[in-house]
Amino acid sequence: MQLFIRSNGQDILETNYWFTPHARRGLFYLSWNPGTARLLVPAAVDAQLDEMRTAKLVIVSHGRWREHGERDALEILFDDGSDNPFALHLGLEQTDRLPPQTEHGRSLVFTAWTQEGEQLRLPARYRVVVEIPCLQPWEG
């Protein structure tokens, strides 16, 4: 099944992601649109939105995932100021692209979407790191 996402700026108007094998398996998907990282949250894992909502800032880190054969991956850290913030780790098959390394340090908007629509909107930063898990707050 070919994944499609129809957008209007930062907003997702329509996607077939909810009906894909990845979504049925409860896998997140990160879609990038100019200035925005949009996390698609399947119904099987939408209870994790409660953890995400505690964040004040979302930090998306791109680096090598040593535990998975040094492959490129993403970490999405929901920084709530605690010593144990909620985080997700995604393989590149769970995103439609990677921002160029020149985007390191840039501010962006992070949104989380379920089949019912947008559920969360937070400020975010993007960074390139040597490896994930990084799990470090933004230092900037």
Residue 140: the pLDDT is 63
Q: What pLDDT, in 10s, does the model give residues 60-107?
A: 999 999 887 888 999 999 999 999 999 999 999 999 998 888 888 999
List of residues 6+ apart from 29 with CB closer than 8 A: 3, 17, 22, 23, 39, 40, 94, 95, 96
Cα–Cα dist 132/65, whole Å: 5
Mean pLDDT of the chain: 94
Q: Is residue 139 part of a domain?
A: no
Number of domains in the chain: 1
Residue 137 located in a structural domain: no
Find the mean pLDDT for residues 27-34. 95
Indicate whether this model's pTM tops 0.85: yes
Print the domain residue range for 124.
Answer: 5-132
For residue 34, what pLDDT is reported? Answer: 86
What would the pLDDT profile of 101-124 be if each residue is shown by its tens digit?
A: 888 899 999 999 999 999 999 999
Q: Which has the higher per-residue pLDDT, 98 or 39?
A: 39
Residue 140: inside a domain, yes or no?
A: no
3-class secondary structure, 83:
coil
What percent of the chain stands above pLDDT 90? Answer: 86
Whether 138 maps to a domain, the answer reads no
